[in-house]
Structure 1
């Protein structure tokens, strides 16, 4: 996909929040750099308020990060129309920002972003000005930033430019005045703008979007028909309930590597009793995580707080699980229990139903892809032991 014959692609990557997408994207960055690509990776949450974000906010953040990366390798951008746009923005914000004689795109975009991130009123004011100009913003970025970047990078022997925009899967799900949710507006209604940049781009997107009735529109406008890549949970069991030994072994290694990073995989397994009171405690920890990496680490950390000195006891683990379960139960709405019962028994969801999508978004339900029958779903194992799901 990333080749000299293909100078522009737009790819979508998704999965549950905390399942390891950022780790995979950072690994992708490293591999692309080894293949002589210039890679711009950034976490959008550092630049944007993802609870309230617009398409113009994202485009400006991308322009700033690309320009910053290019300046770091002494590729200077001489903007014209983009400079005029940023000057107009500063006037609209009526902010005490100065455009230096040596104009810096990343410097001035960073100032604008900081100003609007801390002031919702200014953010709305700026968005009202920019939303009708998104096509022009894309055009300015392509002509004044990416054209120069692609030309100079090729001259230096680089394969091309790849931009990886992480954490957009965390965009808030609020409903806009139009009736569309924020992710629908950004990725579907305005998807052609995000897909219009003349370079290779990888975006993370919210997992529920791939179960939308408008998934085909999403693929065409953003990914040129390419199916979004999904990073599923590490499987701890199969659809029929039998244990997935390969997945469990990987999770066990992930835990034990925290204690013994320099040992071999075989040697680590010989040290289980140095960390846990029995192998069953480690098995329980991995199984109840559901294969969700962040939850696995959170439970391990919670056990550590409850244990003055290793080994971690089964009782400490049970207390940590109970705390996490109570936290989840407190936010489950009454009508959601019935849906959870259906998922528990049928191992599937009604993909285009917003209520089921909310179960995914809240991580009450996990998606798995570890057999030949397509994706299947199950209850978050921490929540599955709730009394409400036993009756």
Structure 2
């Protein structure tokens, strides 16, 4: 049972998210929920199902690249199976993540929701938005051909596309919309979400769910108020973002989990519920012993890329078609630290260099060394000192340490029922001289 190299190489693309609704891609999915300290996606979905028709606002976070998008697409598929109309979108499609305000997010939500509803043959005509869009164009004094579109999404899409590519136009549009944020929010609820909910009910469906991915990527720079952009958006303006009259799931930056304002975030935007965090897949337990279940699942993740149609037992039987030895596969899993994109990145690097199977010890060593060199080049003296503390204390404290260690992927977070929450360094750094 030899894997087809080209298919295996494409399946290891670290930049590709598994589309859970596609049966072909779903074969690559490994369910890590039982070993990540709680079934996060099940809890998000269960909250929506039990609270419906009352709206909910839930917050979801984790390391960039840890698999959040894949899990959110799984949530979308499961909610659709239960009869919900789900709008999932990547906020980076509409927004410049380095420069975002609340009115930008609300307009992006109106765009994506209206587009999804129109695709489902649900009318989104709105006198408020028709007038607002024309006022915006007149205010900007720039050619944007709105036309007399029947589809609200086209008009909003043209406007947001124009402003995304121009910081000057974006700033001007924000000057016009920000004083009108409350009326914009009210109109989204009154003229878009409420009519949609009524029509969905007539069709025998459950409620409307909006999943906004990639907002965790907003730039964490400090703005004029002295706050970071993420604190301003999700805490200071949290009540407005939480004011949509439908089920909403926001991805938020992991740094907010270490903010002094975490409880304010929880109450203003999260409706009193804690944000859900997707940690790494544990390769070791808090005491340093191997996490056997985590390693077994990571082996399956790697082998599923080569043998997507096979059973777990068949994949293990074909292991030496992919790796020179079982030890090489284990070293790959350990080096990834349970970070799913890192595992794929290392696999991809091995295949790109050697261009043949099986993967050898030399090619894996080279991939790990390159990853270590790239990472260590960005670490300064103070950060090395923090990393040494993490290796012994298994803790990260405060926003500054989070920003320095977690956002940069120098340190990973782990959770399980027995040990709770702990942190450890990215394993590719384990051989660095600075830690000796």
Report what 1:375 is aligned to: 421
**Cα distance change on mapping 1:356 and 1:99 into 2, 3 Å:** closer
C-alpha distance in 1, partners of 2:52/2:359? Answer: 55
Report what 1:58 is aligned to: 105
C-alpha deviation, 1:371, in angstroms: 4.3
Report what 1:342 is aligned to: 389
**Secondary structure at the residue paired with 2:83?**
coil
Alignment counterpart, residue 160 of structure 1, candidates 207, 220, 232: 207
Q: In the TM superposition, what whole-angstrom CA distance separates every residue of 1:356-390 from its partner, at most 9, and x where no partner exists?
A: 33311111110000242321000011123211112
Asked if the contact 1:163–1:199 (Cα under 8 Å) also holds between the matched residues in 2, the reply is yes
Report what 1:113 is aligned to: 160
Structure 2 unmatched runs, 5+: 1-46
Map 1:93-104 → 2, pairs under 5 A: 93-104=140-151
Deviates more, 1:222-231 or 1:287-296: 222-231
Asked if the contact 2:266–2:274 (Cα under 8 Å) also holds between the matched residues in 1, the reply is yes
C-alpha distance in 1, partners of 2:201/2:391? Answer: 53
C-alpha distance in 1, partners of 2:339/2:222? Answer: 28
Report what 1:188 is aligned to: 235
Q: In the TM superposition, what whole-angstrom CA distance separates every residue of 1:284-332 from its partner, at most 9, and x where no partner exists?
A: 0000100000000000000011213211111111110111111111111
Alignment counterpart, residue 73 of structure 1, candidates 120, 124, 128: 120
**Secondary structure at the residue paired with 1:87?**
helix
C-alpha distance in 1, partners of 2:374/2:188? Answer: 45
Report what 2:194 is aligned to: 147
C-alpha deviation, 1:353, in angstroms: 3.8
**Secondary structure at the residue paired with 1:139?**
helix
- Are 1:287 and 2:334 an aligned pair? yes
C-alpha distance in 1, partners of 2:387/2:99? Answer: 29
C-alpha deviation, 1:122, in angstroms: 1.0
Q: In the TM superposition, what whole-angstrom CA distance separates every residue of 1:196-254 from its partner, at most 9, and x where no partner exists?
A: 00000011111111111111111111111111111110000011111001000100001
C-alpha distance in 1, partners of 2:236/2:399? Answer: 19
**Secondary structure at the residue paired with 1:164?**
strand
Map 1:268-287 → 2, pairs under 5 A: 268-287=315-334
**Cα distance change on mapping 1:65 and 1:308 into 2, 3 Å:** closer
**Secondary structure at the residue paired with 1:78?**
coil
C-alpha distance in 2, partners of 1:231/1:335? Answer: 27
C-alpha distance in 2, partners of 1:227/1:192? Answer: 15
Report what 2:401 is aligned to: 355
**Secondary structure at the residue paired with 1:315?**
helix
Q: 4+ runs of 1 displaced by more than 6 Å? A: none
Q: How many residues align?
A: 389
C-alpha deviation, 1:335, in angstroms: 1.4
Report what 1:2 is aligned to: 48
TM-score (norm: length of structure 2): 0.87
Asked if the contact 1:339–1:356 (Cα under 8 Å) also holds between the matched residues in 2, the reply is no
RMSD over aligned CA atoms reads 1.3
Report what 2:169 is aligned to: 122
Report what 1:316 is aligned to: 363
C-alpha deviation, 1:93, in angstroms: 2.1
**Secondary structure at the residue paired with 1:234?**
coil
Q: In the TM superposition, what whole-angstrom CA distance separates every residue of 1:145-201 from its partner, at most 9, and x where no partner exists?
A: 011111111111111100011111111111111111111111111111111000000
Task: Tell which has more relative contact order, 1 or 2 (C-alpha 8 A, sep 6+).
Answer: 2
Asked if the contact 1:235–1:291 (Cα under 8 Å) also holds between the matched residues in 2, the reply is yes
C-alpha distance in 1, partners of 2:145/2:359? Answer: 57
C-alpha distance in 2, partners of 1:10/1:187? Answer: 12
Q: In the TM superposition, what whole-angstrom CA distance separates every residue of 1:62-108 from its partner, at most 9, and x where no partner exists?
A: 00111111111211122122222221211122221123224432111
**Secondary structure at the residue paired with 1:375?**
strand
C-alpha distance in 1, partners of 2:76/2:428? Answer: 34
